[in-house]
Amino acid sequence: MSMDWEKVREVVNSHLDQQSSELYRVNQALHGNPELAYKEFFAHDTISSFLEKQGFTVQRKTYGLDTSFEATVGSGGRLVIVCAEYDALPDIGHACGHNLIATSSIAAFLGAAYAMKTLGINGRLRILGTPAEEGGGGKAKLINAGAFSPSADVAASIMAHPITKHAIGGISGLAALDLIASLKFRVEFKGKSAHAAGEPWNGTNALDAAVGAYNNVSMLRQQIRPEERVHGVFEVGGTVPNVIPDYTRMNWYVRAPTTEQGEKLQKRVHACIDAGANATGCTYNYIVAEPYKHVVSNPGLCETYVQDMAKIGEDVLVKAPEPFTASTDMGNVSHEVPGFHGAFAIPTEPDAALHSTKFAAAAGKPEAHECAMKSAKGMAMLALRVIVDDGLADRVRQDFESGNAV
């Protein structure tokens, strides 16, 4: 269908400007009540109630997850899913700015839905609450439960993440925040307890197994590629010094630019861990979590977003010269359906970084909210263009099926 996109933009932007103060209240409520993975009950209820007051029918506790929700408008035609994140980090709250992700995603949904209703645009638009991004793999569980099923004819899945302005050279944002793969697992070591002073020869030291594994991996780090990462912590290390530990547990992340490269590196890490257990005579067991796959940024989606952001005076690059060495379960989604994982820059102190108390503070400021709202305007237009424009939708699908990425 022929569409006056300037008219559409005017409708979207005007509506979001009117909604901004209400959305800021939601933003602040989430920021002031940070919740951990799969425990985002306040966020789930706050966002669901807000959408219901806006006139949308909200399904709560969807796909078997107590803190997921969804609301859909339209019937027939292509479906665009806007993903909303809202979990926080232990002790430091919204230090990854998921209150802003939720705000921008809700706003994108509101703006696009209003334009569809006002201008008679046919198609389907959905906002999906995706809990537990911070290590819980919520989107992987949603994928397994059918939230992105091929039968749903999902034309695109979109969201944007806040980032420090100085990290990307002071520009407004990126269309492709290409994050790398992260393979996650725990390992348990089991030995035999004994009195550490009276009869140490009767014990099998599970702490030594874990320490040996850690030291082996530390040596491996000298021989891995610069873009690869391995990091781990001791979650259980024993009880008291005079009892030889019979049980220890470690938590490990292995990261690489692609999932395949990460799998190769993980085999080397496992060899280091196996050696630590074998040297001490301990048995061991791997507890494997869902991997976070690398993000595949769709060229058609990214280029369209850049063009629409330019229309509102925002300087957005298609992608950064190098991928950021962090990971997201949105990567998993981008392997299932065409994906857009953008970034919008927020003002912070010069030494602020993601996952820090300074970034958490910046994520609660009015200036950060304004940045989220600008990104929402671009995402609303992106969703509408995919729904309406057959040529763009075909290109997006072809890029996805052929594995093209920006």
Confidence at residue 322, expressed as pLDDT on a 0 to 100 scale: 79
Radius of gyration over every alpha carbon of the chain, rounded to an integer in angstroms: 23
Q: Within 13 Å and on the Cβ side, how many CA atoms surround 364?
A: 16
Confidence at residue 151, expressed as pLDDT on a 0 to 100 scale: 77
Q: What is the DSSP letter of 158?
A: E
Q: pLDDT under 50 in the chain at which residues?
A: none
- The residue whose two tokens read 């951990």 is 36
Confidence at residue 76, expressed as pLDDT on a 0 to 100 scale: 87
> How far is CA 255 from each of CA 262, 326, 348, rounded to the nearest angstrom?
6, 8, 27
Q: Which of 254, 248, 219, 236 is nearest to 325 (CA)?
A: 254
Separation between Cα atoms, residue 200 and residue 266, nearest integer Å: 34
Q: In the numeric block, which tokens belong to residue 73?
A: 């408008």
Asked if 78 contacts 61 with a C-beta cutoff of 8 angstroms, the reply is no
pTM value? 0.94
174: phi then psi, degrees, rounded to nearest 5: -130, 145
Looking only at the bridges linking them, the beta strands covering 247-256 and 229-236 are: antiparallel
Question: How many Cβ atoms from other residues are within 10 Å of residue 265's Cβ?
Answer: 20
- Report which secondary-structure segment, H or E, holds 83: strand 79-84
Question: How many Cβ atoms from other residues are within 10 Å of residue 322's Cβ?
Answer: 9
- The residue whose two tokens read 């999932």 is 259
Question: How many Cβ atoms from other residues are within 10 Å of residue 21's Cβ?
Answer: 9
Confidence at residue 153, expressed as pLDDT on a 0 to 100 scale: 87
Alpha helices in 134-292 (DSSP H): 138-144, 206-220, 259-280
Confidence at residue 197, expressed as pLDDT on a 0 to 100 scale: 97
